[in-house]
A = this chain, B = another copy of it.
Amino acid sequence: MEEIDSPRGRVRVRDLQNNRVVWESYDQLLLATGAVPVCPDLPGADAVEICGVNTLQSGIELRRILDDRNPKNGIVVGGGYIGLEMAEALVRRGMAVSLVSRSPEVMKTLDPDMGHLVSQALRDFGVTLYLEETLIGFETKSGKITGVVTDRRSLPADIVILGLGVRPNTELAAAAGIPLGERRSIRVNELMQTFVAGIWAAGDCAETFHLVSRKPYYLALGTIANRQGRVAGVNLGGGSATFPGVVGTAVTKICEVEVARTGLQESELRELGIEWASAVIRSRTKAGYLPGAGKITVKVLAEKGSGRLLGGQIVGMEGSAKRIDTLATALHAGFTVEEMINLDVGYAPPFSPVWDPVVIAAREAAKLV
């Protein structure tokens, strides 16, 4: 699709197979243009050994380069989900792996104290971290990548993987005059309608709403895209559904370490002017006397005064991450940490200490609000 003519209810479509342009009319139009990876506009960035991983095809191509050239030195730029997963994958292939990130710790969707645990897990796994360093260029020789330059050093590289995040793909919508919102995502209401009649949007191109801050929010995650897509589809099909918003839940696994977060983190609370108290507790994933009882660290953030739960973060061994769902559901409910103390969550020795780590953290936070 090349152009949207909303007053006339039609779109210009390029038929790639027959190389011609046609105008198609519509009654209802759904924009699901997704997001595009952020790419640095730096000299050398077009070398074939510099790869983003955002589609199945880009993954297959990366795999082919790794298999064909058997590179020794891998540099990952970016400390988010994709960067960390790729760093792990390269180490498992026996490569020397360095990771460059502008943030003080990897996984900046966690508070730095919790992110530090993930940074440490990566180091233990064999990844060299260059934190608080900015990518400023690439070194190439005869068109082939040989190094990555940061504001503090030059690192030898046979392959570079970029995990710098994504931005909503909304040029088409913007050109059609459809109002944009957070980070230039397409503004939508609870029904997934844009603010232009007959045009809908869902997925990584669309804005969402944060149920804790009660403000518009942008978050490109498959879960949200799926839920938004369902709501748009139900409504387009003549049914009735609403998408109230998100609480910002995400989980991932890096090496053996499980990582989870939900709600608002300290940097967001600071920006929103919300005063908070936080509790960090260390516990076990199972009854302590059972084999395989792994470490788990849980952080809970609550509003000063009201005690309202604001967010939570978890870093720990097997059985840690999905505990975030209890905090996420409590955020949906608007619970205070005091109300969470007697949450009737499940206990048996293979699954938890008698007091679930999430509840322990809420209980500690309740003492501080």
Contacts and interface: CB of A to CB of B under 8 A. Distances in A.
A323 B325 contact: yes
A266 to B, nearest CB: 20
Contacts of A354: 222-223, 226
Nearest to A346: B251
B332 A344 contact: yes
Interface string A345-369: 1111011101110000000000000
Given A251-B351, A351-B253, A346 B325 contact: yes
A302 interface: no
Contacts of A252: 348
Contact of A321 (B224, B227, B258, B351): B351
A350 B253 contact: yes
A267 interface: no
A251 B339 CA distance: 22
Q: How many copies, total?
A: 2
B344 A249 contact: yes
Contacts of A322: 319, 322-323, 345-346, 351-352
B251 A344 contact: no
A344 B246 contact: yes
B321 A348 contact: yes
A214 to B, nearest CB: 15
Given A325-B325, A328-B343, A333-B333, 8 more contacts: A227-B341, A241-B341, A247-B344, A251-B351, A258-B351, A262-B344, A321-B351, A329-B329
